[in-house]
Amino acid sequence: MTEVFSGSFTQQEPIPEAGIEAAMRILQSGRLHRYNVAEGEDGETALLEQEFAASVGSKYCLAVASGGYAMATALRALGVKAGDKVLTNAFTLAPVPGAIASVGGVPLFVGVSRDLTIDLDDLQAKADQADVLMLSHMRGHMCDMDHLMEICDAAGIKVIEDCAHTMGAKWGDTYSGRHGVMGCYSCQTYKHINSGEGGLLVSDDDELMARAIMLSGSYMLFERHLAGPPKDAFAQIKYETPNVSGRMDHLRAAILRPQLADLETQVERWNERYVAVERGLADTPGLTVVQRHEKETYVGSSIQFLLEGWCDSAVSEAIARCAARGVELKWFGAAEPVAFTSRYDSWRYAPSEAMPVTDDILRGIVDMRIPLTFSVEDCALIARIIRAEVSAVYQSLDG
């Protein structure tokens, strides 16, 4: 009998009871705005910032409305203005070049390597063309951060890390988001902690974080930030910085705090499921499992593999055959963007020269979410289905 998977690839786990109870307290109080606190209260949002900063070893943290807002705020804090070029990955999701474009910047795309990280040779070749790199740890894959920082430090490039898919991940002993001058995280539904939408921004730099707090719409209430720089950091900045309101509210912060406290356990659970899929796909004819660097500690909330050298019709057939058996795969090689699978050549507001080597890699990237609503046994079943269907299509090509 042919196996079929019946689970949902978009169903997340429920919010923890502690988060629901905290949210109810906020709703009953009526005090949702982050600066609307009773006497003697710190507020859920300020407490979340303090706890997140401690969890990644950062001096400062700011909670905002989304991961995309965090990236745009980081760019503004660094002084990126209209017409400035900003280096970024060619393999990323649309909010990354979107954040650059939103401040008037011009994305300058850097190629992708077969391990799905930024091509460091291409970065080196383009390092003299921009002063800022928006580094996307796309789909949870971290490049050799030691080498990347050597390139950027030598060229005077300031690094902002997009950690939407790497909250809880490390390079060596350093958490994702802590190599550059600012790190940006997402709390959108499909990320590692879930408030529907939301973002976090970290930095050790007093001036950058003071600007970010003012940009977020703090008015003159910056002293209420438990994880913010000292008052004197705002002395001049408070007069010069526009209010681009994008604060996180107490309700979302209340939902997130218990999830953050449990993140380490959740990472272990994701990785158990990731390994089950990875092992099941090993040595599948025609399929390349993406290898990770030994220095990288990852969070396996999604998995990617390559169908290298396949024609478009064959990839489409393999994906359709998997879908018929209940396995939902996304492909970055389609001529037209579908869902979140757009590529650098899809973003016509950010024209770029063609990158043939990168194009060949993008053409073969297949992506799959691994929600924690799946069991380890589910993941093994999913891998068997992918293996069978990819093998069947590959054999027909080979024949």
Question: DSSP of 193-258, one letter per residue?
Answer: S-SSS-EEEEES-HHHHHHHHHHTT-TT-GGG-TTS--GGGGTTHHHH------BPPHHHHHHHHH
What's the pLDDT band for 397 if we cut at 50, 70, 90?
Answer: confident
| Beta-strand pair 158-162/182-186 | parallel
Domain presence at residue 391: yes
The answer on pLDDT for 1 being more than 80 is: no
Q: Check residue 119 and give its pLDDT.
A: 98
Select from 261, 276, 294 the last residue of a domain.
Answer: 261
**Mind listing the pLDDT tens digit for each residue in 237-259?**
999 999 999 999 999 999 999 99
Comparing CA positions, the residue from 284, 279, 330 lying closest to residue 300 is 279
The more confident residue out of 353 and 252 is: 252
The answer on pLDDT for 124 being more than 70 is: yes
The answer on pLDDT for 399 being more than 60 is: no
**Whether residues 26 and 117 fall in one domain:** yes
The Cα–Cα gap between 343 and 357 comes to 14
**Mind listing the pLDDT tens digit for each residue in 83-121?**
999 999 999 999 999 999 999 999 999 999 999 999 999
Q: Check residue 338 and give its pLDDT.
A: 86
**Whether residues 268 and 390 fall in one domain:** yes
Domain tally for the chain?
2
**Whether residues 371 and 225 fall in one domain:** no
Select from 228, 261, 294 the last residue of a domain.
Answer: 261
For residue 142, give Cα distances in angstroms to 270, 290, 293, 300, 319. Answer: 17, 12, 8, 12, 26
**Mind listing the pLDDT tens digit for each residue in 283-310?**
999 999 998 999 999 999 999 999 999 9
**Whether residues 179 and 206 fall in one domain:** yes
Domain presence at residue 271: yes
Q: Which domain holds residue 75?
A: 17-261
Helix (H, G, I), strand (E, B) or coil at 71: helix
The answer on pLDDT for 42 being more than 60 is: yes
**Whether residues 222 and 347 fall in one domain:** no
**Whether residues 155 and 45 fall in one domain:** yes
**Whether residues 111 and 224 fall in one domain:** yes
Domain presence at residue 6: no
**Whether residues 338 and 238 fall in one domain:** no
Domain presence at residue 4: no
**Whether residues 193 and 297 fall in one domain:** no
**Whether residues 253 and 389 fall in one domain:** no
What would the mean pLDDT of 8-23 be, rounded to a whole number?
97
Domain presence at residue 38: yes
The Cα–Cα gap between 19 and 22 comes to 5
Specify the pTM: 0.96
**Whether residues 345 and 209 fall in one domain:** no
**Whether residues 257 and 269 fall in one domain:** no
The Cα–Cα gap between 269 and 266 comes to 5
What's the pLDDT band for 398 if we cut at 50, 70, 90?
Answer: low
Q: What's 271's domain CATH number?
A: 3.90.1150.10
The Cα–Cα gap between 63 and 51 comes to 11
What would the mean pLDDT of 339-361 be, rounded to a whole number?
91
**Mind listing the pLDDT tens digit for each residue in 176-217?**
999 999 999 999 999 999 999 999 999 999 999 999 999 999
Select from 215, 240, 261 the last residue of a domain.
Answer: 261
Q: Check residue 335 and give its pLDDT.
A: 82
The more confident residue out of 291 and 159 is: 159
Q: What's 256's domain CATH number?
A: 3.40.640.10
Residue pointed to by tokens 């990158």 = 355
Domain presence at residue 174: yes
Q: Check residue 347 and give its pLDDT.
A: 92
Domain presence at residue 76: yes
